[in-house]
């Protein structure tokens, strides 16, 4: 008998959404119930990089690709020091069959103490989230007789991610040096930084120092950086007011580049507004247009919020071709720019990696 459907018959796991919809499957990984925000990711590969992306903290990630687990997991593919999402939702859980695999997905989830649910009709769930928006949810995998009605009630009672500072949860606890050589010294604000960002900066000839999210601007300047990088991160940018204050204090004093949450924080620091998208952008196939050149790049993205109402000091540089939202900006006076997507990929396409060259040019000037 197929492993998946054997487990399906044995278990009574389900994901209950705050709007009352319930999706059934079987549990894997840590058999622990929890709450989270359900979002869908349209990437066809890269589940381990998604699992280890700190920007997913507080969320249940629904993978739209039907076959998950095929190539297993290995230490080399980690994008952070751990797994920060609240849970994983997939259709078919497969055994690993790949020469690089060090363990299967189920063992990986169990080792990191994260719950998952498989056997779910992820196509129906994704369509539901597209129609009704990202949802507060309750994942029941513990094996007891919790009713669906009680699970829905618990999902509704959860405070959610709006107004919550999750960057302070996922950030490094202390300053550290990523590499010790390079023509330029870049200080990276860690709001949930991915390792491939640090790799890309190092490969572009910079010496990288990573500092915690709450590091005051004066301490950053005391490190004598040639540039400051504002990283990706989870949850609501409006809840990270201290970061916007530090960025505002650094404007004009040192070149800056931001991505994802860092893009939103740079905008907020300059007076832009920020609002929630209906179901966010999560995946590695999002088309972005450069307003100046007309060039289109396919990008990797992971965010639920977007900048609106840019002030006069900020120039819109990129737009999302799916919904027209702001995907990039540049300060008209100071050497600072940002993009909403992840130019370092991991997982995803490499179309936008030349943005790191643009950052180097800012420091050269």
Enumerate the H helices of the chain as residue ranges. 3-10, 47-51, 105-111, 122-132, 148-157, 167-170, 195-203, 217-221, 241-250, 261-269, 354-364
* Residue 331 is assigned to a structural domain of this protein: yes
Same domain, 152 and 175: no
Instruction: Name the band, by pLDDT with cuts 50, 70 and 90, for residue 10.
Output: low
Same domain, 10 and 149: yes
Q: Over 60: is that where the pLDDT of 359 sits?
A: yes
Query: Which CATH number covers residue 231?
Result: 3.40.50.880
Same domain, 184 and 307: yes
Instruction: Name the band, by pLDDT with cuts 50, 70 and 90, for residue 5.
Output: low
- Indicate the burial class of 310 (C-beta count within 10 angstroms; 0-12, 13-18, 19 or more): middle
Of 129, 157, 185, the residue that ends a domain is: 157
Instruction: Name the band, by pLDDT with cuts 50, 70 and 90, for residue 53.
Output: very high
Same domain, 173 and 118: no
Q: What is the DSSP letter of 313?
A: T
Are 52 and 24 contacting, i.e. CB atoms less than 8 angstroms apart? no
Q: Strands of 206-212's sheet, edge to edge?
A: 176-177, 206-212, 184-190, 227-230, 256-259, 336-339, 326-331, 314-320, 273-290, 296-308
Same domain, 191 and 140: no
Q: How many domains does the chain have?
A: 2
User: Has 140 been annotated as catalytic?
Assistant: no
Query: By residue range, what is the domain housing residue 42?
Result: 3-157
pTM here?
Answer: 0.95
Same domain, 111 and 230: no
Number of other CB atoms surrounding residue 131 within 10 Å: 9
Among the residue ranges 106-115, 149-158, 327-336, 338-347, the one predicted with the least confidence is: 338-347
- Indicate the burial class of 99 (C-beta count within 10 angstroms; 0-12, 13-18, 19 or more): exposed
User: Has 331 been annotated as catalytic?
Assistant: no
Same domain, 115 and 197: no
Q: State the catalytic residue, choosing from 37, 92, 140, 260.
A: 260
Same domain, 66 and 206: no
Q: Over 90: is that where the pLDDT of 303 sits?
A: yes
Same domain, 215 and 69: no
Same domain, 50 and 173: no
Residues 117, 32: Cα–Cα separation, whole Å: 11
Q: State the catalytic residue, choosing from 91, 286, 318, 342.
A: 342
Residue 82 structure tokens: 């751990």
* Residue 162 is assigned to a structural domain of this protein: no
What tens digit of pLDDT does each residue of 62-82 get? Answer: 999 999 999 999 999 999 999
What per-residue confidence (pLDDT) applies to 351?
84
User: Has 260 been annotated as catalytic?
Assistant: yes
State what percent of residues in the chain have pLDDT above 90. 93
Q: Over 70: is that where the pLDDT of 150 sits?
A: yes
Q: State the catalytic residue, choosing from 49, 79, 92, 344.
A: 344
Query: Which CATH number covers residue 83?
Result: 3.50.30.20
Name the CA radius of gyration of the chain, rounded: 20
Mean pLDDT of the chain: 95
Q: Over 80: is that where the pLDDT of 9 sits?
A: no
Of 123, 157, 191, the residue that ends a domain is: 157
285 phi/psi in degrees, rounded to 5: -140, 35
Q: Which residue has the higher pLDDT, 4 or 162?
A: 162
Are 15 and 137 contacting, i.e. CB atoms less than 8 angstroms apart? yes
Residues 209, 184: Cα–Cα separation, whole Å: 11
């Amino acid at each position: 008998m197929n492993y998946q459907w054997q487990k399906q018959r044995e278990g009574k796991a389900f994901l209950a959404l705050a709007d009352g919809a319930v999706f059934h499957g079987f549990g894997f990984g840590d058999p622990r119930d929890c709450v989270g925000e359900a979002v869908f990711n349209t990437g066809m590969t890269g589940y381990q990089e998604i699992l280890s992306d700190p920007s997913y903290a507080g969320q249940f990630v629904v993978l739209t690709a039907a076959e998950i687990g095929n190539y297993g997991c290995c230490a080399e593919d980690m994008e952070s020091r751990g797994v920060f999402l609240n849970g994983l939702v997939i259709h078919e859980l497969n055994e690993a069959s790949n020469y690089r695999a060090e363990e299967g997905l189920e063992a990986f989830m169990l080792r990191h103490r994260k719950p998952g649910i498989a056997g779910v009709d992820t196509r129906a769930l994704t369509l539901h989230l597209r129609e009704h928006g990202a949802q507060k949810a309750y994942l029941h995998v513990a094996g007891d007789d919790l009713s669906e009605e009680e699970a829905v009630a618990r999902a509704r009672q959860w405070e959610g991610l709006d107004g919550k500072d999750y960057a302070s949860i996922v950030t490094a606890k202390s300053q550290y040096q990523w590499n010790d050589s390079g023509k330029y010294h870049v200080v990276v604000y860690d709001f949930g930084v991915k390792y491939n960002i640090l790799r890309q900066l190092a490969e572009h000839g910079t010496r990288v120092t990573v500092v915690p999210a709450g590091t005051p601007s004066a301490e950053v300047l005391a490190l004598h950086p040639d540039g400051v990088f504002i990283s990706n991160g989870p949850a609501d940018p409006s809840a990270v007011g201290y970061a916007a204050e530090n960025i505002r204090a650094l404007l004009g004093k040192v070149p800056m580049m931001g991505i994802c949450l860092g893009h939103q924080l740079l905008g907020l620091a300059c007076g832009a507004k920020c609002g929630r998208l209906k179901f966010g952008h999560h995946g590695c196939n999002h088309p972005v247009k450069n307003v100046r050149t007309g060039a289109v790049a396919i990008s990797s993205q992971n965010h639920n919020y977007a900048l609106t109402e840019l002030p006069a000091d900020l120039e819109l540089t990129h737009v999302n071709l799916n919904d027209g939202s702001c995907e990039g900006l540049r300060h008209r006076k100071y050497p600072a720019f940002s993009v909403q997507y992840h130019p370092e990929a991991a997982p995803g396409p490499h179309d936008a990696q030349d943005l790191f060259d643009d950052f180097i040019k800012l420091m050269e000037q």
